[in-house]
A and B are shown apart, each in its own frame.
Chain A
Amino acid sequence: MKYEVVIGCEVHVQLQTRSKAFCRCPNTFGGEPNSRVCPVCMGLPGSLPVTNSAMIEAAILAGLALDCDIAGVTKFDRKHYVYPDLPKGYQISQFDMPICTGGHIDIPASDGSLRRVRIIRVHMEEDAGKNIHPDDGRSVSYLDYNRCGTPLLEIVSEPDLRAPQEASAYVQAIREILRAVGVSDCNMEEGSLRCDANINLWVYEDGKKYATPIAEIKNMNSFRSIRNALEYEVKRQVREWEQSRLLLEVAGKTTRGYLEAKGITVLQRAKEEASDYRYFPEPDLKPISISREMIDALKARVGALPAERRRRYIGEYGITEQDALNLTSSAAMADFFEAAAAGHPEPKRISNFILAEVKKYLNQRSIGVDELAVDARAFRRLIDLVDAGKISGKIAKEVFVDMADTGKDALAIIEEKGLIQIDNSDAIAQAVDEVIVENPDSAADYKNGKEKAIGFLMGQVMKKTKGKANPAMAIQLLRAKLK
């Protein structure tokens, strides 16, 4: 059985505005229950919403960062459903005129290539409150409306993701981008970023393609749980297909919740009842015009976004797509790279060093580049020492680890440890002579045209000089002597 996994994501992000979406209550996390509420966010009779312009700006910034088109005119609509944590009985949302449409994000695909995930729309809405069910057996529920009216963005992707880890990478990329433009802290634990995923399979059998029923997966509260929940769901759907051969057009869409403790998804709502939200334009709010000037002003604030940085790295620095993707995996990493590479004739060499040595160091210690004891300027001084021929690239790797461990400067370390490269041709020539004498077979091989043998001999020279020989001089001398 051959199948393809198909995933689309709906991501909700709380915007970091000072006040809530439609009132002046502080937009912060937590607090004594029902302490950050007013008649407007509580939806009390007679209250009216007033749009927070900071929310509009944040939504436009996010839209620009996600390569979306920004609407010239947008409006709010009422979305109706009944739930105790929704105090008005409707949510102020956007229906047919969302503020942003048609963007995309590029993420590393599971096969190592680049995956373009199209974004259908980004719209603004208000968050609801929270139900609290005490677990002491009493049959009461409490309601905390503090979160009511928190401005949210809903970002809806096309079903372009093809693997659970891609979904996780996609959400991480959204977090990276929205953090970079400063509109949200995208903290999954505090719920300022929430993700629901629609997942099904395209099964290929007997030259035909079958779509299995779509499941909407909820309650995924970390990047790991996104991956785990969807991996579980793939297995479950494969099993279900094999047992029932149920098709999408027959079974429709179900909603499933992820139980993190058990690592499984469970059915929450069977075949989705055609939910009728009875949308209509919010009569309390006027449509909003967004001027070209406003968009241009915000564009300047968007600054260097991952996608734009990647374009530059590939185009100007000659860095591969994959490396560019890795360098922009976090804004801090990209900042580090750019600061280190500033004015350097070969940024690619710096990129190689970072992606190999620096990443290795960070991974081993599970820290971020912003926690590294070596800043970009100190790192650049290390590279400059290599460029100046003071140390070899190999020695530089060791020196980097020392720098990162001790926080000392590169020059101090190489002086302390006597690692300065041997530029003295006599000293190198002596080592070369010794190596040729000690390895007559390899020397003969090289003379007989086996180019590879020179590598081995070089290695021996470096070993003899404890890595300090200037490699360029050493190889030159080797070739000369073996002519």
Chain B
Amino acid sequence: MSFPVFWISMMNDRRLNGLTLSEMRRALQAGEVSSVELVEAFRNAWEEDSSNEKPVNGYVEFFADAAQQARKADEARAAGGHGKLLGLPIAVKDNIQIAGRLTTCASNILQGYRAPYSATVIERLEAAGAVFLGRANMDEFAMGSSCEYSCYGAVRNPHDRDRTAGGSSGGSAALVAAKQAPFALGSDTGGSVRLPASFCGVYGLKPSYGTLSRYGLVAFGSSLDQIGFLARSVEDLQLVLSVAAAGVDPRDQTSEKTGFENAGPLRARSLSGLTIGIPGQLVSEAVDPQVLQVFDEFRRWLESAGAKTRVISIPVLDACVAMYYIIAPAEASSNLSRFDGVKYGRRAAGAENLDAMYEKTREEGFGPEVKRRILIGNYVLSSGYYDAYYKKAQGVRALLQQRMDAVFEEVDLLASPTSPTPPFRLGEKVDDPLAMYLTDICTTPANLTKSPALSLPGGRTSDGLPVGVQLTGRRFCEMTLLETAYSWEREHAG
């Protein structure tokens, strides 16, 4: 019995596409596969999906030179090269700059903008030999929880094409879930890595604020932003973290020394001795029952693995979404004021004077959610309102930090659902900003307190929709999160 040649190649693709980054790494080292083959497998998967009636729409650009990068990596390996990520393909969210390539933040206002320099994280990945597959779709300027606010159109959830992939790193998560990329960089300001990870059934890590350099990540909320990872395995998260977090970046004063670059291979750990707190508010009746059910199973597993769990109350947690939707838009309104058509990106034609040029450029260049947040941000910073909103929000943020510090005196980790709901339908919340914002109730606390947080694919609803579980740790205790998630993965994956 014989198959046509193209069919065999498809089978190979399917097999390759399903590998984790770490598996690919071992296969590359063993000479079982080439980087070029890996890249071609992902390109094929993307092309195949693009012709779908309802494509995932995770890539806004698949790099034409991806195979060429891969060839170089293969040559480097043949010449004895052994970068930690040599030949490993990674997709990059469209707000993380790679020198010479377009970076548009899925916004009309940055159409045609080519990054003149690379983000520090990109430089480190590149130095370790990574191959960049393409730019991942996102909510415009990372503002959104559903990946519907993109100038390239919405991202579809690979598990149900009529549902959202979550946002704002929805493209990154969907690509990993749809096996169009084994790993993707995202960014997380209020849950933008973890929420899509939860919706798409993959792993998502938001490191502590300061673990990864923000240099070259187009800023949204500067005191909250952090580059994060979407992956198919916990091992992969740790692998890329060890490369990307290699020491303080002198170009980012808010980056810190973590030592993660020296972390050894992940070990499954016994959870005995760990105390895990469950914030009562995040498992209340406001949360979807199917989500609660998945979370309860996870909680039972924690206990069976030796951890103690207890429900705790952190009253100020209730204010997180409110705080977040003051602080993040305030910083965004400031960060986005540079997009004025004067220096780069899109400039509206036909303006009769400078003010009209600004107005037309920003009117045409920004989408509705970005405009909404710029307005909110300017409002909460304006004199007369500053004290009532921005200053008060910062005060509550400091209070939250104190409470969380106290909580982490008593517990080692916090566990909760990642999202109060399973993936919702496209269009369901796009016209209801408040409902959309409430999606971030479980994820914003980690950004506000600079803590690391991880979403793991905890289970599924009766309709087969993914449901994520979130672990949050003390600042710079990424390893505890990863080891706990790794223990879970060893028992549940596959």
Instruction: State the A residues within 8 Å of B (CB).
Output: 39, 42-51, 78, 80, 82, 84, 87-90, 143, 274, 276, 278-280, 283-286
Contact B253 A45 (CB under 8 A): no
Q: Interface range on chain B: under 10, 10 to 19, 20 to 34, or 35 or more?
A: 35 or more
Q: Most A CB atoms within 10 A — which of B333, B334, B354?
A: B334
Which residue of the partner chain B has the closest CB to A81?
Answer: B337
Which residue of the partner chain B has the closest CB to A39?
Answer: B117
CB-defined A-B contacts under 8 Å, sample of 26:
A39-B117, A43-B338, A44-B117, A45-B103, A46-B115, A46-B214, A46-B219, A48-B214, A50-B251, A50-B253, A78-B334, A82-B337, A84-B354, A87-B338, A87-B342, A89-B334, A89-B337, A143-B342, A276-B383, A278-B386, A280-B390, A283-B223, A283-B331, A284-B219, A285-B253, A286-B253
Contact A90 B219 (CB under 8 A): no
Q: Tell me, rounded to whole Å, the shortest Cβ–Cβ distance linking B67 to chain A.
A: 27
Ranked nearest first, the 3 interchain pairs of A and B with the lowest CB-CB distance are: A89-B337, A278-B381, A283-B222
Q: Tell me, rounded to whole Å, the shortest Cβ–Cβ distance linking B124 to chain A.
A: 15
Q: Is B81 an interface residue (CB 8 A)?
A: no
Q: Is B395 an interface residue (CB 8 A)?
A: no
Q: Most B CB atoms within 10 A — which of A43, A89, A279, A286?
A: A89
Across the interface, which residues of A come within 8 angstroms of B216, CB to CB? Answer: 46-47
Across the interface, which residues of A come within 8 angstroms of B63, CB to CB? Answer: none
Query: If A276-B382, A286-B254 touch, does A44 touch B116 (CB 8 Å cutoff)?
Result: yes
Across the interface, which residues of A come within 8 angstroms of B254, CB to CB? Answer: 48, 283-284, 286
Across the interface, which residues of B come within 8 angstroms of A43, CB to CB? Answer: 338
19 additional contacts (CB under 8 A) given A78-B334, A284-B252: A39-B116, A45-B110, A46-B119, A46-B215, A47-B216, A80-B337, A82-B358, A84-B342, A84-B354, A89-B337, A90-B334, A276-B382, A278-B378, A278-B383, A279-B381, A280-B334, A280-B390, A283-B223, A284-B253
Across the interface, which residues of B come within 8 angstroms of A284, CB to CB? Answer: 219, 222, 252-254
Which residue of the partner chain B has the closest CB to A277?
Answer: B383
Across the interface, which residues of B come within 8 angstroms of A80, CB to CB? Answer: 334, 337, 381
Contact A274 B383 (CB under 8 A): yes
Across the interface, which residues of A come within 8 angstroms of B259, CB to CB? Answer: none
Provide the main secondary structure of the chain B interface: loop
B 352-384 contacts with A by CB, 8 A: 354, 358, 378, 381-383
Give complex CA distance A42, B116 in Å: 12
Across the interface, which residues of A come within 8 angstroms of B336, CB to CB? Answer: 89
Give complex CA distance A286, B254 in Å: 7
Q: Is B437 an interface residue (CB 8 A)?
A: no
Across the interface, which residues of B come within 8 angstroms of A89, CB to CB? Answer: 334, 336-338, 340
Contact A50 B250 (CB under 8 A): yes
Across the interface, which residues of B come within 8 angstroms of A87, CB to CB? Answer: 338, 342-343
Contact A47 B215 (CB under 8 A): yes
Q: Is B244 an interface residue (CB 8 A)?
A: no
Q: Is B113 an interface residue (CB 8 A)?
A: yes
Which residue of the partner chain B has the closest CB to A23?
Answer: B251
Q: Which single member of B219, B354, B390 contacts A45 (CB below 8 Å)?
A: B219
Across the interface, which residues of B come within 8 angstroms of A286, CB to CB? Answer: 253-254
Q: Is B218 an interface residue (CB 8 A)?
A: yes
Q: Tell me, rounded to whole Å, the shortest Cβ–Cβ distance linking B360 to chain A.
A: 14
Contact B218 A278 (CB under 8 A): no
Q: Tell me, rounded to whole Å, the shortest Cβ–Cβ distance linking A89 to chain B.
A: 3
Across the interface, which residues of B come within 8 angstroms of A143, CB to CB? Answer: 342-343
B 80-133 contacts with A by CB, 8 A: 97, 103, 105, 110, 113, 115-117, 119
Contact B342 A48 (CB under 8 A): no
Query: If A45-B110, A48-B253, A50-B253 touch, does A90 touch B337 (CB 8 Å cutoff)?
Result: yes
Give complex CA distance A407, B85 in Å: 76
Give complex CA distance A47, B216 in Å: 6
B 213-267 contacts with A by CB, 8 A: 214-219, 222-223, 250-254
Give complex CA distance A285, B214 in Å: 12
Q: Which single member of A44, A49, A51, A82 contacts B344 (CB below 8 Å)?
A: A44
Give complex CA distance A249, B119 in Å: 52
Give complex CA distance A80, B251 in Å: 23
Across the interface, which residues of A come within 8 angstroms of B340, CB to CB? Answer: 82, 84, 89
Contact B223 A42 (CB under 8 A): no
Across the interface, which residues of B come within 8 angstroms of A51, CB to CB? Answer: 253
Contact B331 A45 (CB under 8 A): no
Q: Is B448 an interface residue (CB 8 A)?
A: no
Give complex CA distance A278, B343 in Å: 23
Q: Is B173 an interface residue (CB 8 A)?
A: no
Give complex CA distance A80, B191 in Å: 28
Q: Is B330 an interface residue (CB 8 A)?
A: yes
Contact A88 B338 (CB under 8 A): yes
Contact B253 A42 (CB under 8 A): no
Contact B343 A88 (CB under 8 A): no
Q: Tell me, rounded to whole Å, the shortest Cβ–Cβ distance linking A118 to chain B.
A: 26
Q: Tell me, rounded to whole Å, the shortest Cβ–Cβ distance linking A171 to chain B.
A: 31
Across the interface, which residues of B come within 8 angstroms of A42, CB to CB? Answer: 343
Give complex CA distance A39, B222 in Å: 17
Across the interface, which residues of A come within 8 angstroms of B97, CB to CB? Answer: 45-46
Q: Tell me, rounded to whole Å, the shortest Cβ–Cβ distance linking A254 to chain B.
A: 20
Give complex CA distance A45, B217 in Å: 8
Q: Tell me, rounded to whole Å, the shortest Cβ–Cβ distance linking B184 to chain A.
A: 18
Across the interface, which residues of B come within 8 angstroms of A49, CB to CB? Answer: 253
Q: Most B CB atoms within 10 A — which of A42, A45, A80?
A: A45
Give complex CA distance A286, B222 in Å: 12
Across the interface, which residues of B come within 8 angstroms of A47, CB to CB? Answer: 215-216
Give complex CA distance A39, B251 in Å: 11
Q: Tell me, rounded to whole Å, the shortest Cβ–Cβ distance linking B107 to chain A.
A: 10
Give complex CA distance A82, B219 in Å: 19
Across the interface, which residues of B come within 8 angstroms of A82, CB to CB? Answer: 337, 340, 358
B 430-452 contacts with A by CB, 8 A: none
Across the interface, which residues of B come within 8 angstroms of A50, CB to CB? Answer: 250-253
Across the interface, which residues of B come within 8 angstroms of A45, CB to CB? Answer: 97, 103, 105, 110, 113, 218-219, 338
Across the interface, which residues of A come within 8 angstroms of B110, CB to CB? Answer: 45
Which residue of the partner chain A has the closest CB to B117?
Answer: A39
Give complex CA distance A285, B354 in Å: 31
Give complex CA distance A230, B136 in Å: 60
Q: Tell me, rounded to whole Å, the shortest Cβ–Cβ distance linking A97 to chain B.
A: 14
